[in-house]
Structure 1
């Protein structure tokens, strides 16, 4: 099964080997007929502590590493 990949902005890097990434999605509201924005925060594993607040990163699904962490920061080799 392919792993999901999301892109977002780092909003916190205070934890050791963990960053909080805010991912925004846009969709058309069926009732209002307008584009609305919704954001959600994900805890992601950052082994090297190299990512800082404000960086745009890609995260992908991985095995559960703790109660909140099921995502990891990865480098796109494309």
Structure 2
């Protein structure tokens, strides 16, 4: 089964080998028929600390690396 890949923007790179990525999704509200924006933050593993705040990155599901990290950064 293929792993999910999401695209988002790095909001924090303060932790060692970890970046916080905010992923925004848009969907149409079922009743109001209006486009709604919803966002969620993910912690992703960044092996070489190459990505900085403001970078657009792609993240991929992986086996758990720590208590909160379940994603890893795929090369831009």
Question: Taking structure 2 as the reference length, what is the TM-score of the superposition?
Answer: 0.97
Corresponding residue for residue 60 of structure 1: 60
Gaps of 5+ in 2: none
Q: Deviations for 1:41-77, whole angstroms, at most 9, x for unmatched residues?
A: 000000000000000000000010011100000115x
Question: Taking structure 1 as the reference length, what is the TM-score of the superposition?
Answer: 0.95
* 3-state SS of paired residue (1:69): coil
* 3-state SS of paired residue (2:48): coil
**Count, aligned residues:** 76
- State the superposition RMSD in angstroms: 0.7
Gaps of 5+ in 1: none
Give me the whole-angstrom Cα distance separating, in 2, the residues matched to 1:30 and 1:61: 29
Corresponding residue for residue 20 of structure 1: 20
Alignment of 1:42-61 (within 5 A): 42-61=42-61
